[in-house]
A and B are shown apart, each in its own frame.
Chain A
Amino acid sequence: MTAASLSEKLQKKECSAVEIAHSVFGQIAKVEGTIGSFVTVCEEQALEQAKEVDRKIAAGEDLSPLAGIPIGVKDNICTKDVLTSCGSKMLSNFQPPYNATVVDKLEQAGAVIVGKCNMDEFAMGSSCETSYFKPAKNPWNPDYVPGGSSGGSASCVSAGEAVLALGSDTGGSIRLPASYCGVVGLKPTYGSVSRYGLVAFASSLDQIGPLGRSVADVASLYSVICGKDPMDATSAQREYGDFCQGMNRSVKGLRIGIPQEYFGEGVEPQVKAAVMAGIQRLAEEGAQAVNITLPSTDYALSAYYIISSAEASSNLARFDGVKYGYRAKDYTNLIDMYEKTRSEGFGDEVKRRIMLGTFVLSSGFYDAYYKRAKQMQQRIAQEYADAFQQCDVILTPTSPSPAFRVGERTDDPLKMYAADVCTVTVNIAGLPAISVPCGISENGLPIGMQMIGPKFSEQMLFDVAGCYETICGGFGIAPSMKGEGGQTK
């Protein structure tokens, strides 16, 4: 069930928030051993929150559409006094003394936080396999990865362990797992959602965003979390409406840009076919397809890994065993303590990225790497701006292939990085993009279609994605997760 239909049932008193919570924890008890969506499950706290919602319903108070809705929160988003590990040994004992702004907003809306979602360590990865605790698995087939880095956020929604989830997206970390797990995921415009309380990876690219089983649900959650926050100086000063109420699900007269660079050799034919079929269906509803070009796409991955790693090497310098987190046991002096703490606390992928960032910022190499990457960032943003003169929205595959097998790419970083090739340019240009399911692969896994818009065009993205959802007859949880009589089917 979607958040919208559950909310309606709550309002009509056909079920209680506590019943909804119990049904979700029932599903968690059943499937969590296989899927591994959560680092921490917050059953006691969630039931308290649900009781509070029921009390408000009984008192006839006005409720947000998210009241009583079970939601998963990625484990790099701070939750007061609840473990926020970032999927790392480094923060395996960290209980933040404060809530992230988005968590405060969820609590105010009465959402029920069911747990903290598994993720690639420090959000660095495309498969959820670098989590220090355990890898998350794809609910459609647990032999496959759920995508990353917000793997647990996508898998919990797809497996019926939560109705909605928050993830974070630095290079595709919401959209990629959403596409691999067959759910809807939005990477909002840079600056539209506060990052206060999000453990920083690459500050000029990071963005918190929603995942859900329907476009309306994602729009509802986005409406709650967006907005200016004095605690995040990069959050944009502007007014936002209710994106769910504002949806009109029409694409009549809309110009859909199709960039040839996203349908090239590296993209699997079955993915191309599914996305082109999706575009065709939108054309039948009155949209017009336009061929466009984004010539620098080939350089995006290079620019992305330089910029994100450079920022990560700086952001992760704070993990030194002094103020919080893991501290090594045996050391001879302060420097030795730093080195041992960081070497024992970080996994290999995080070390690789820190070292890459250190390298590209080191003297003698800065101009050839970091400066060029920043210039390329500007060029990519300009190419998007030019493209949006000819079209209203751009459609591409979310990833060049459906989910890959667990373990298939762990020994080859470049192959792992290639999964992000269709998503990184959006972060580089600070744009919003939504991934929606658009087909099933030969081996029965979901394929995702990405819709990219100009800055702050989320409403239009919800309209296009909503129109497509209506054509498809809706999305749902992974077929193998449908239990008998499950509340959350």
Chain B
Amino acid sequence: MQIDIRHIAKLARLSIEDEKMEKFQHEMETIVAMCEKLPPMDDAYTAVDPSNPMRLRPDQVKPSLKRDQLLKNAPQVQAGCIVVPKVVE
């Protein structure tokens, strides 16, 4: 199957260098061809294992990490806020 790599990359917020485009195109097509082996099925499926249902914890107010601890890893911080390029003109 022909795959529109540029389109897929755009959806995934990736840009692929021109010189790598052909390699990616070829590899993706082989991988997708492998994935196409699955036969059509009418089996039902459930997302959660019924024998081990998830139990959600109650939503309680508890002490959490401090703001400066959390911001320590942010690439750009100003006045306790994360800085990103302007989004609204």
Contact of A95 among B9, B41, B72 (CB under 8 A): B72
Determine the chain A residues whose CB is within 8 A of the CB of B46 once the complex forms.
378
Cβ contact within 8 Å between B57 and A354? no
| Cβ-defined partner of B43 (8 Å) among A343, A362, A378 | A378
Interface of A is mostly: helix
- A-B contacts, CB under 8 A, total: 151
Within 8 A of B (CB), among A412-463: 413-414, 417, 430, 455
Contact (A233, B65) CB under 8 Å given A95-B73, A369-B35: no
Looking at the assembled complex, report how far the CB atom of A378 sits from the nearest CB atom of chain B, in whole angstroms.
Answer: 4
- Given A323-B73, A355-B14, A376:B41 Cβ within 8 A: yes
Closest 8 CB pairs of A and B: A324-B73, A327-B75, A97-B69, A378-B45, A358-B12, A375-B43, A375-B41, A372-B38
Is B38 within 8 A of A373, CB to CB?
yes
Q: Which of B1-43 contact A (CB under 8 A)?
A: 3, 5, 8-9, 11-16, 20, 24, 27-28, 30-32, 34-43
Please tell me if B78 contacts chain A, counting CB pairs below 8 Å: no
Q: What is the bound-complex CA distance between A170 and B57, given in angstroms? A: 25
Whether the Cβ atoms of A331 and B27 lie closer than 8 Å is no
Interface presence of B61 (CB below 8 A): no
Known: A334-B87, A356-B28. A303 touches B72 (CB 8 A): no
Quick check: B38 and A355 within 8 Å, CB to CB? no
Q: A234-B54, A340-B15 are in contact. Are A356 and B31 (CB under 8 A)?
A: yes
Pairwise interchain contact B13-A339, C-beta atoms closer than 8 A: yes
The contact of B51 among A95, A354, A355, A455, by CB within 8 Å, is A455
For B87, give the chain A residue with the smallest CB separation: A334
Q: Is the CB of B51 within 8 A of A375?
A: no
The interface on chain B, measured as residues whose beta carbon lies within 8 A of the other chain's beta carbons, has a size of 51
A195 on interface, CB distance cutoff 8 Å: no
Q: How far is the CB of A324 from chain B (nearest CB, A)?
A: 4
Q: Does A258 touch B at the CB level, under 8 Å? A: no
**A379 cross-chain contacts in B, Cβ below 8 A:** 41, 43
A335 within 8 A of B: yes
A355, B35: Cβ atoms under 8 Å?
Answer: no
Nearest CB in chain B to that of A372: its residue: B38
Q: With A338-B13, A372-B41 in contact, is A333–B28 under 8 Å at CB?
A: no
**Which residues on A sit within 8 Å (CB–CB) of B72?**
95, 97
Is B45 a contact of A377 with CB atoms below 8 Å? Answer: yes
| Minimum Cβ distance to chain B for residue A37 (Å) | 25
Residues of B within 8 A of A (CB): 3, 5, 8-9, 11-16, 20, 24, 27-28, 30-32, 34-47, 49, 51-52, 54-57, 65, 69-70, 72-76, 82, 84-87
Q: Nearest-CB distance from A355 to chain B (Å)?
A: 5
Interface residues in A337-352 by Cβ distance below 8 A to B read 337-340, 342-343, 346, 348, 351-352
Is A360 at the interface (CB under 8 A from chain B)?
A: yes
Nearest chain A CB to B1 CB, angstrom units: 9
15 residue pairs A–B, Cβ–Cβ below 8 Å: A95-B72, A97-B69, A298-B37, A299-B38, A313-B12, A322-B75, A324-B74, A327-B75, A331-B85, A340-B15, A355-B5, A358-B8, A362-B11, A372-B39, A417-B31
Q: Which chain A residues (304-334) contact chain B, with CB distance < 8 Å?
A: 305-306, 313, 317, 320-327, 331-334
List 9 other contacts, CB 8 Å, given A302-B34, A334-B84, A355-B9. A191-B49, A230-B57, A233-B57, A299-B37, A337-B85, A358-B12, A374-B47, A375-B43, A379-B41
Within 8 Å by CB of A355, from B8, B40, B45, B52, lies B8
A430 to B52 alpha-carbon distance, docked (Å): 11
Contact with B along A197-240 (1 / 0, CB 8 A): 00000000000000000000000000000000010011011000
Selected from A233, A302, A375, A417, the residue in CB contact (under 8 A) with B37 is A302
